[in-house]
Chain A
C-alpha cells in the first residue's frame, strides 16, 4: 500500500526563519504551523509553567491585533486554530480556507514581531487566572489527576528539565512577572528559533514572497542560551514505588520506564511494541488482563517521545473491584517480561505493520498534521524529510529488535510503580474516574497543555 510522499521545499530567510512549504491542491484548505524551539524544558526552578503561560499570552494581542482578536479573526475567516506547549516545544497553528492564507501569515508575523507592544499587567493577570483554572480542570479536580506529574518526577531526576510538570506550580504561576514575560519573548520568540510550515492549497513562490514581506524585518536573537546537558543514564537505577490514597473508586496501577530518546531507532521498536501490548482486543495486555483473567477494567501502554536524554514510557491498568492491585501489577509486568524474553511472532509483526501503515496514511491525509510533522522534524532533528522516512523506519523494525529494546527498558531497576488506592473512610471510597476510553488516551492527552477550545 503506497503512502504518498510529501514533496516539500526547505529554506531560510536572512533573519534565520526556516520556511517549509508543501503544496497539495486536493482540497481548498491550507495549514500554517509554527514551532518555536522552546518548551517546559527551558524553564528554570521557580519559573515552572512559564512556557505554557506564555503560550496564552500569545493570544492576547500584538501591535495590530487586539486582545483575543487573533482567535476572532481566524474564526471569522473560516479557519480553526490552536496552540500547545510540551516538554520540547511550543507550537501554534491555523487551518484556513486557502484564500485566507495571507491573513494567517500576517497574524503569526504580527505577534512574532510586536507582541510586547500589547503586553500589559491586566492581560497577564487575566491569563494567569485562566491557566490556574486550566490546571485545576485538567489535573487538580480529576480523580487520579496528578499521575503524569508524579511519573515525570520519578523518571527524571530533580535536576533534569523534564522533572517538573509543563503546567507548572501555582506558586510559580503567581510569581510570573511582566519582566519575565518580556525576557522570555525576547529570548525565544525570534525568527531564528522558529520553523514555519505551510502545507496545502498554496503556491510556493507566493508563500515565500508573503513570508519575506511579513516576517523579513523581524530581527533574530543571536544569543539564544543553550540548554544544559540533558543526557541521562539509560536506566533509572532502582525501582521506585509510590502509593497514593485518593478519592477514586477503583484502584489503578501506573507504570513508567525511562526509554530511549526521540530519534533513537530503538524508540521506533518500542513504539511498535506498544501496539503489540495494548493496541487492540487481541493485544497481549488487553487479552490477558482485561479479556481472559478479567482482573483489569482497562490497560494501556505508550511512549511519550522526548529528545532530551530519554523518553518516558507510560503504562496503566485500572484494577477491577475485589482484585488485589498486586495481582494486576504482577500480570502486567509478566507480559512485559515475556516480550523481553522472546521475539514476537511474524503474524503479530505483520498485523502491527499493517495497522501502523494505515494509521500513517490517516495522519498524513490531513494538511494540519502534515504541517505539524514537518515543523516537528525540522525543529527537533533538523530533518523535515523524516516525514517521509519514519514509516519505513517503523516497517523495518524486526521482531528481535522489539525483544531487545523490551529487555533494555522493561527492567526492575528502570521502573516506577505508582498505585492509586481508594482512600479508606473517604465518602468517595468505592467511586471512580474518567471513562475507559479516556484512560487509554492518557499518554497522548498528556502531551498537550492545550490552549483554547477554539
Chain B
C-alpha cells in the first residue's frame, strides 16, 4: 500500500462567493465644518472611533520638526480638567483604550470601547482633543524620551537603514528627508509653547473628521458629535501638498559602516508616488508582483531560490506627496553584493519583461480577495475611511476599489513599471560591515560608493 493511499490529488474548486460590499457609511457635516462619518456594523460590540485632523508632520515648520508628533503624544498628558493619571484612569474605567499619534499627513486620536460606553468615551476624547494642557514638565519628559529614542535608533540596524535611506533620497527642501518625529536638533527646541502653537493652529473642525464604526446608530452618534464638537472652532481647512523633491540623480551607494554586523540591511529606491495619483491601482498591482506577495519576484529569487534572506520586499509608501519607493532586505553579510545584483536585475526585469497572466491574476485575486478580510472588525474600517479623508480621495473609492484593481491589464502593469521603477537612478543604502563587503562592492562596479562611519554619541538625556 502506497503511503499516499487516500490522499486526494484533485484541487477543489472554489464555491460561490458570498457577495460582500463595504458597509454602508453615513456622512454628515456639522455647521462648524466637522465631518462625521459613521459605519454601522451589526454585532461588532467593540466600537472604534477616531478623530482625524488632516494636517500632519509634513506641514510643520522645519525648525520645530517633531512638534506635531510630540503634540499628538502630549494630548493624553493632561487636560484643563484633569491630569494624565486621572485621564488614563477615566478611560480605563470605561474599558476604553485610547491612542493618539501623528504621521506625515494627519493626526489621529482614537479609541476602542464597548458600544454601551461609547458616549462617555467620546466625551473624554473630545476633552483630550479640544482642551489639552501640555504641562511643561510632561512635555520635557516626552521630549527627552524622544531624544533618547533617536539615540537608540542609530544603533538599531533597521532603523538606522531607514533613516539613512530617506535622508539619501530626498532633497534638503523636503520634510520627508527627516524622521516625522523630528531630528535631535529640532526636538531639543520643543517646549509646551511649540506644542500649543501646533494645537491652536491646526486642531479644529475645519479639516477634521470624526469616524465611528461598530454596533452603533448613525443618528445617535451624530447627536453625540453635535453635543461634544458642535461649538468647536478653528482648524485648517486646506490640503497642502508637501515638497517631495528628489536628491537622487545617477545611481549611488551609501554604506553605513557597522563593524562586526552579521547581516547587511539593504534599501534601494527613490521618491515614488503620491496616493492620489491616477495610476495608483496599476502601480499597486505592479508592486505586489515585484515585492508584495509571498511569491513575488523578489521573494522567489532572493529567499526561495537563493536563501540569501528571511524576506525581500518592495513597495511604495504613499502619502499626500510622493513617499519613498523602497526595495528592502536584510541579507547574510557574505552575499551582500550578489543580493544587490539580484535586486537590480529584478527591477530591470520588471520594466523590460511583461508580467505573466498568472502573476497578474495572483496579485489581483489577492488584493480583491482579502478585501472582506480586511474589514472584519471596526478598527480597519475606520482606518480606511480616515485614509480617504486624509488623502482627499473620492467617497466611493472603497466601493470602486475592487473593480479598479480588476481592470488593471498586463500593459498597465508594464507602463506603471516603466514610469515608476528606476534601477538606473536609485540610491542603494547599506548598513553593514564595510570591512567585509567593501572590496567586493568596489569590484562589482555597481555605482560610486560613499562610506559613513557613525560617531559615538556623547550622552543622552537624563532626568
* Min C-beta distance of B370 to chain A, whole Å: 5
Chain B: which residue is nearest A75 at the CB level?
B366
Q: Are the CB atoms of B155 and A126 closer together than 8 Å?
A: no
Contact digits for B325-339, partner A, Cβ 8 Å, 1 yes 0 no? 000001110000000
Q: Are the CB atoms of A76 and B366 closer together than 8 Å?
A: yes
Chain B: which residue is nearest A30 at the CB level?
B373
* Min C-beta distance of B189 to chain A, whole Å: 19
Contact digits for B422-459, partner A, Cβ 8 Å, 1 yes 0 no? 00000000000000000000000000000001101111
Most buried by B among A109, A291, A323, A432: A432
Q: A29-B372, A142-B157, A365-B44 are in contact. Are A133 and B310 (CB under 8 A)?
A: yes
Q: Which of chain B's residues have a CB closer than 8 A to the CB of A63?
A: 4, 7, 9
Q: Tell me the bound Cα distance from A320 to B143 in angstroms.
A: 13
Q: Tell me the bound Cα distance from A323 to B148 in angstroms.
A: 13
Q: Tell me the bound Cα distance from A289 to B85 in angstroms.
A: 14
The 3 closest A-B pairs by CB, nearest first: A78-B369, A217-B6, A432-B152
In the complex, whether A169 has a CB less than 8 A from a CB of chain B is no
* Min C-beta distance of A299 to chain B, whole Å: 12
Chain B: which residue is nearest A2 at the CB level?
B45
Q: Are the CB atoms of B309 and A201 closer together than 8 Å?
A: no
* Min C-beta distance of A92 to chain B, whole Å: 14
Q: Which of chain B's residues have a CB closer than 8 A to the CB of A75?
A: 293-295, 362, 365-366
Q: A79-B369, A106-B8 are in contact. Are A433 and B155 (CB under 8 A)?
A: yes
Of A128, A293, A361, A430, which is within 8 A of B114 by CB? A361
Contact stretch, chosen from A45-53, A279-287, A403-411:
A279-287
In the complex, whether B342 has a CB less than 8 A from a CB of chain A is no
Chain B: which residue is nearest A426 at the CB level?
B456
Q: A141-B330, A280-B88, A351-B93 are in contact. Are A433 and B45 (CB under 8 A)?
A: no
In the complex, whether A330 has a CB less than 8 A from a CB of chain B is no
Q: Are the CB atoms of B154 and A126 closer together than 8 Å?
A: no
Chain A: which residue is nearest B154 at the CB level?
A431
Given contacts A63-B7, A294-B463, 9 further A-B contacts (CB under 8 A): A2-B45, A28-B20, A105-B12, A110-B7, A290-B141, A294-B141, A323-B462, A354-B92, A432-B148
Chain B: which residue is nearest A26 at the CB level?
B43
In the complex, whether A429 has a CB less than 8 A from a CB of chain B is yes
Q: Tell me the bound Cα distance from A359 to B114 in angstroms.
A: 10
In the complex, whether A247 has a CB less than 8 A from a CB of chain B is yes
Q: A68-B294, A99-B14, A137-B330 are in contact. Are A358 and B456 (CB under 8 A)?
A: no
Q: A67-B304, A130-B307 are in contact. Are A435 and B370 (CB under 8 A)?
A: no
Q: Which of chain A's residues have a CB closer than 8 A to the CB of B138?
A: 291
Q: Which of chain B's residues have a CB closer than 8 A to the CB of A321?
A: 148, 151, 459-462
Q: Tell me the bound Cα distance from A357 to B45 in angstroms.
A: 12
Q: Tell me the bound Cα distance from A218 to B2 in angstroms.
A: 12
Q: Are the CB atoms of B154 and A432 closer together than 8 Å?
A: yes
Q: Are the CB atoms of A214 and B8 closer together than 8 Å?
A: yes
Of B42, B117, B365, B453, which is within 8 A of A76 by CB? B365
Q: Are the CB atoms of A358 and B376 closer together than 8 Å?
A: no
Q: Which of chain A's residues have a CB closer than 8 A to the CB of B42?
A: 26
Q: Are the CB atoms of B155 and A249 closer together than 8 Å?
A: yes
Q: Are the CB atoms of B456 and A431 closer together than 8 Å?
A: yes
In the complex, whether B249 has a CB less than 8 A from a CB of chain A is no
Q: Tell me the bound Cα distance from A453 to B315 in angstroms.
A: 14
Q: Tell me the bound Cα distance from A139 to B368 in angstroms.
A: 36
Q: Are the CB atoms of B7 and A114 closer together than 8 Å?
A: yes
Contact digits for B92-128, partner A, Cβ 8 Å, 1 yes 0 no? 1111110000000000000011101100000000000
Q: Tell me the bound Cα distance from A217 to B152 in angstroms.
A: 55
Q: Tell me the bound Cα distance from A192 to B84 in angstroms.
A: 53
Q: Are the CB atoms of A282 and B460 closer together than 8 Å?
A: no
Q: Tell me the bound Cα distance from A132 to B263 in angstroms.
A: 11
Of B8, B94, B262, B294, which is within 8 A of A141 by CB? B262
In the complex, whether A238 has a CB less than 8 A from a CB of chain B is no
B interface residues with partner A (beta carbon < 8 Å): 3-9, 11-12, 14-20, 42-46, 76, 84-85, 88-89, 92-97, 112-114, 116-117, 138, 141, 144-145, 148-149, 151-157, 159, 259, 261-263, 293-295, 300, 303-305, 307-311, 313, 330-332, 361-362, 365-366, 368-373, 375-377, 453-454, 456-463
Q: Which of chain A's residues have a CB closer than 8 A to the CB of B14?
A: 77, 99-100, 102-103
Q: Are the CB atoms of B373 and A323 closer together than 8 Å?
A: no
Q: Tell me the bound Cα distance from A115 to B366 in angstroms.
A: 25
Q: Which of chain B's residues have a CB closer than 8 A to the CB of A98?
A: 15, 18
Of A28, A77, A282, A351, which is within 8 A of B18 by CB? A28
Q: Are the CB atoms of A280 and B159 closer together than 8 Å?
A: no
Q: Which of chain A's residues have a CB closer than 8 A to the CB of B19?
A: 28
Q: A109-B7, A361-B46, A452-B294 are in contact. Are A136 and B262 (CB under 8 A)?
A: yes
Q: Tell me the bound Cα distance from A64 to B155 in angstroms.
A: 46
In the complex, whether A4 has a CB less than 8 A from a CB of chain B is yes
Q: Which of chain B's residues have a CB closer than 8 A to the CB of A26?
A: 42-44
* Min C-beta distance of B94 to chain A, whole Å: 7
In the complex, whether A436 has a CB less than 8 A from a CB of chain B is yes
* Min C-beta distance of A277 to chain B, whole Å: 14
Chain A: which residue is nearest B4 at the CB level?
A114
Chain A: which residue is nearest B462 at the CB level?
A322
Q: Tell me the bound Cα distance from A293 to B463 in angstroms.
A: 8
Q: A354-B94, A361-B46 are in contact. Are A72 and B460 (CB under 8 A)?
A: no
Q: Which of chain A's residues have a CB closer than 8 A to the CB of B332?
A: 129, 132-133, 136
Q: Are the CB atoms of A429 and B456 closer together than 8 Å?
A: yes
In the complex, whether A221 has a CB less than 8 A from a CB of chain B is no
In the complex, whether A454 has a CB less than 8 A from a CB of chain B is yes
Most buried by B among A216, A452, A453: A453
Contact digits for A170-190, partner B, Cβ 8 Å, 1 yes 0 no? 000000000000000000000
Q: Which of chain A's residues have a CB closer than 8 A to the CB of B16?
A: 99
Contact digits for A407-445, partner B, Cβ 8 Å, 1 yes 0 no? 000000000000000000011111111111000000000
Q: Tell me the bound Cα distance from A110 to B44 in angstroms.
A: 35
Q: Are the CB atoms of A355 and B148 closer together than 8 Å?
A: no
Q: Are the CB atoms of B18 and A218 closer together than 8 Å?
A: no
Q: Tell me the bound Cα distance from A73 to B14 in angstroms.
A: 12
Q: Are the CB atoms of A72 and B294 closer together than 8 Å?
A: yes
Q: Which of chain A's residues have a CB closer than 8 A to the CB of B361?
A: 76
Q: Which of chain B's residues have a CB closer than 8 A to the CB of A105?
A: 12
Q: Tell me the bound Cα distance from A100 to B369 in angstroms.
A: 10
In the complex, whether A71 has a CB less than 8 A from a CB of chain B is yes
Q: Which of chain A's residues have a CB closer than 8 A to the CB of B15?
A: 98-102
Q: Tell me the bound Cα distance from A454 to B6 in angstroms.
A: 30
Q: Which of chain B's residues have a CB closer than 8 A to the CB of A116?
A: 3
Q: Which of chain B's residues have a CB closer than 8 A to the CB of A142?
A: 156-157
Q: Are the CB atoms of B373 and A248 closer together than 8 Å?
A: no
Chain B: which residue is nearest A347 at the CB level?
B89
* Min C-beta distance of A127 to chain B, whole Å: 8
Q: Tell me the bound Cα distance from A131 to B310 in angstroms.
A: 7
Chain A: which residue is nearest B379 at the CB level?
A362
Chain B: which residue is nearest A112 at the CB level?
B7
Q: Are the CB atoms of B155 and A247 closer together than 8 Å?
A: yes
* Min C-beta distance of A172 to chain B, whole Å: 17
Q: A133-B263, A282-B89, A282-B92 are in contact. Are A250 and B460 (CB under 8 A)?
A: yes
Q: Are the CB atoms of A430 and B362 closer together than 8 Å?
A: no
Q: Which of chain A's residues have a CB closer than 8 A to the CB of B454?
A: 427-428, 431
